[in-house]
A and B are shown apart, each in its own frame.
Chain A
């Protein structure tokens, strides 16, 4: 059965009381940090008790498509930092790769353990009204969000056990095991550590929660050092412990001040040398940004065919690259109904709906695209399936997406759950938590 054919009643039934569950989330510190006017505030990530439900059949198809996509992206990353055959064979234009801000020449020739670059991939999808799933974007750097549905499931089971005994729902509480297995598989000998920028990072709850569940050490940069190309954790007794896998939750730019941003105060000097020497796995690998660039997204279906010799299972949203003359012409002509994305932006920023622009702003946008065609992609607005949420006790329909988590270790596995984010604003397509969105549990039915 397809998700679109689900019984309406099941699809719109809340699990437990929203207030009770949000109270439990507060108790367990499920918060995210946000800076407003330079002041740090912790706030709850609003939880909606009506779950998103994905049928077994839909998930099986989605799983195939996601595994295929992430495997191809990993092969692409290896290729780009080694032989560059995909460029030589003319599948992707050369300057599309090298112009990308995510391409890091410092990573040329480095081979990560087991050739895995993207260990944890967050793939954003939406479902259209006809039931098809579309990939919106790939997040291969430091995708966040798995901890929220993970702990929400734990708490909704407390608040509403009946919902779980009367429905056949795949237990999603294996995420920590999947993550630990992923870290262990790439570990070069030593402990697993999670590197956080610190308590005032927006995703600090996630860093600390995942460290607890995977039995990893949560560290900041000043607790680590590199000696003879080996990464160590300083212990309080004056000793040192080798780190074999570092799940870093800081951006590439700040990882190692001797290789990247010299002014970084949160990096570890010489980390890249330890990585290059094969003494530590960096999870996810530096340089992955070249593959999740919004411009490269256009080429992922081609990558799947090129590296795997398979037809893509999952579709991209129809996308145009103004870089190509033909596409540019189409984009400029249809700008008022397309969605324009700035490839350098993330977190829901830099997304412009042509239909919302005044004539003057549309004209400005046209000129900007003509002047900087590589900076933007344009997509058709997908008429995607709205999901029911409770708003002040009233059920209303809102836009929602799904971040699926794909973990690459000995095998590539898709977590049977995901982060469903929704917009609380009825007129908005933007679902990001940093812009006021909420989240739901994501149920995958077992039969």
Chain B
């Protein structure tokens, strides 16, 4: 390849984000579903609360149908998959036909799961396999290091964002943050995915200890959202 345009760079980043969002949302919803089948039928309201959303669903069944299959629900697995596909379809020469085919397969599998008479989790299991296949394909077939770095930056930002919103265990958050830092080190200077030093320092401070993480995770989410904002360079400073 050797040359990436701004448009394609942007799409690579968002492909990483949306493909990860599909997987992380799916996993979170599967756990939630498991909780809902016996102990806490209304536990899905906790999930809604983490995103600042009100319960307009009324029942777990309606909630799960909407958050998994409804493309009109912007937070659903189906909507994220559609966005991942929309980004992927214009990146065939960067990510390979092989990797793209896993997104098409994911679509078809989600449709089948919706019509399936099997239990929800059982019908969604093949979708997890396919998403693992997608990431395996990206790792195996995307030879251009810069392209891979951008996709994985997107993936890592998305995963960390969700871990922070779900207030996951500190160990998991720390692990994901370290992974993000490894990807960031490989981003070339002048790239839109070159980190904003101030925001990265802020994240290092907050995620440096469990105590700060528990107190300041909202601020960490804000810094993560601004991680790729251009640096403000004071007038008169030579760079």
Contact = CB atoms under 8 A, between A and B. Distances in A.
A246 interface: no
A195 to B, nearest CB: 12
Contacts of A236: 4-6, 8-10, 191-192
B97 A212 contact: yes
B195 to A, nearest CB: 14
A211 B91 CA distance: 10
Nearest to A212: B93
A218 B91 CA distance: 8
Nearest to B192: A236
Given A215-B1, A236-B191, A223 B93 contact: no
A237 B93 contact: no
Contacts of A233: 3, 5
A216 B3 CA distance: 10
B97 A219 contact: no
Interface stretch (B41-49, B73-81, B99-107, B208-216): B99-107
Given A236-B192, A237-B188, A29 B104 contact: yes
Contacts of A26: 104, 108
Contacts of A219: 5
A217 interface: yes
Q: How large is the interface on A (under 10, 10 to 19, 20 to 34, 35 or more residues)?
A: 20 to 34
Contacts of B192: 236
B156 to A, nearest CB: 18
A391 to B, nearest CB: 25
Given A26-B104, A236-B9, A238-B190, A191 B2 contact: yes
Chain B, interface residues (CB within 8 Å), range: 20 to 34
B24 interface: no
Interface string A162-180: 0000000000000000000
Grouping DSSP codes into helix (H, G, I), strand (E, B) and loop, the A interface class, with mixed when no group exceeds half, is: mixed
A446 interface: no
B92 interface: yes
B140 interface: no
A191 B3 contact: yes
A215 B147 CA distance: 14
Interface string A254-266: 0000000000000
A223 B5 contact: yes
Interface string B188-226: 111110000000000000000000000000000000000
Interface string B1-29: 11111111110000000000000000000
Interface in A193-244: 198-199, 204, 208-209, 211-212, 215-220, 222-223, 233-239, 241
Given A28-B97, A234-B6, A236-B8, A208 B104 contact: no
A218 B93 contact: yes
B89 interface: yes
B1 A217 contact: yes
Query: Secondary structure of the B side of the interface?
Result: helix
Nearest to A208: B92
A29 B103 CA distance: 10
B96 interface: yes
Nearest to A218: B93
A28 B5 CA distance: 25
A244 to B, nearest CB: 12
A211 B92 contact: yes
A222 B7 contact: yes
A241 B1 CA distance: 11
Contacts of A191: 2-3
Nearest to B102: A27
A219 B97 CA distance: 17
A29 B3 CA distance: 24
Nearest to A27: B101
Nearest to B98: A28
B122 interface: no
A204 B108 CA distance: 21
A231 to B, nearest CB: 13
B19 to A, nearest CB: 16
Contacts of B97: 28-29, 151, 209, 212
B104 A27 contact: yes
B100 A217 contact: no
A209 B4 CA distance: 17
A211 B3 contact: no
B7 A218 contact: no
Interface string B161-198: 00000000000000000000000000011111000000
Interface string B61-100: 0000000000000000000000000000110110011001
Contacts of B90: 198-199, 208, 218
Interface in B85-136: 89-90, 92-93, 96-97, 100-101, 104-105, 108
Contacts of B101: 27-29
Nearest to A28: B101
Residue from B93, B108, B191 whose CB has the most chain A CB atoms within 10 Å: B93
B144 to A, nearest CB: 10
A208 B5 CA distance: 15
Contacts of A28: 97, 100-101, 104
A216 B97 CA distance: 14
Contacts of A217: 1-3, 5, 93
B101 to A, nearest CB: 5
Nearest to A151: B97
A26 B104 CA distance: 8
- Shortest Cβ-Cβ A-B pairs, 3 listed: A236-B9, A208-B92, A211-B93
Interface of A: 26-29, 151, 191, 198-199, 204, 208-209, 211-212, 215-220, 222-223, 233-239, 241
21 contacts: A27-B104, A27-B105, A28-B97, A28-B100, A28-B104, A29-B104, A191-B3, A198-B90, A209-B97, A211-B93, A212-B93, A219-B5, A223-B5, A223-B7, A235-B3, A235-B5, A236-B4, A236-B5, A236-B6, A236-B10, A237-B188
Interface of B: 1-10, 89-90, 92-93, 96-97, 100-101, 104-105, 108, 188-192
Given A28-B104, A233-B5, 10 more contacts: A151-B97, A199-B89, A208-B89, A208-B90, A208-B92, A215-B93, A236-B6, A236-B8, A239-B190, A241-B3
